[in-house]
A and B are shown apart, each in its own frame.
Chain A
Amino acid sequence: MDSKEKIFAVLKRIKGKVEISPDGATLDYRAGEEIDELSTQDEIMILNKLEEDGIIEVVQNYASDYI
Chain B
Amino acid sequence: MRHQGFGFKIKINKKAFEDAYLEYSKAINPIKEQIHLQEIFSVHPEIENKCISLYKSGNHAEAVEKSFKIVRDRLRELTGYETGAGAFGKGNLHITGAAAQNVDHDFNEAVKFLTMAIDMFRNEKSHTSDAKIKDPIRAYQYLSMSSLALYLLEQAEIKK
Contacts and interface: CB of A to CB of B under 8 A. Distances in A.
B12 A18 contact: yes
Contacts of B4: 44, 61, 63
Which DSSP category, helix, strand, loop or mixed, fits chain B's interface? mixed
Interface of A: 4-5, 7-8, 11-12, 14-15, 18, 24-32, 40, 43-45, 47-48, 50-51, 53-65, 67
12 contacts: A8-B27, A11-B24, A14-B12, A26-B10, A26-B11, A31-B8, A44-B5, A47-B8, A55-B12, A57-B13, A60-B9, A61-B4
Given A4-B28, A5-B28, A48-B1, A55 B20 contact: yes
Contacts of B24: 4, 7-8, 11
Given A8-B27, A27-B12, A58 B3 contact: yes
Q: Give the 5 A-B residue pairs with the shortest CB-CB distance, closest first.
A: A63-B5, A61-B3, A60-B9, A8-B24, A29-B8
Q: Interface centre among B3, B10, B20, by most A CB within 10 Å?
A: B10
B8 A15 contact: no
Contacts of A60: 7-9
B25 interface: yes
B2 interface: yes
B7 A55 contact: no
A44 B16 contact: no
A2 to B, nearest CB: 8
Contacts of B2: 48, 51, 58
Contacts of B27: 4, 8
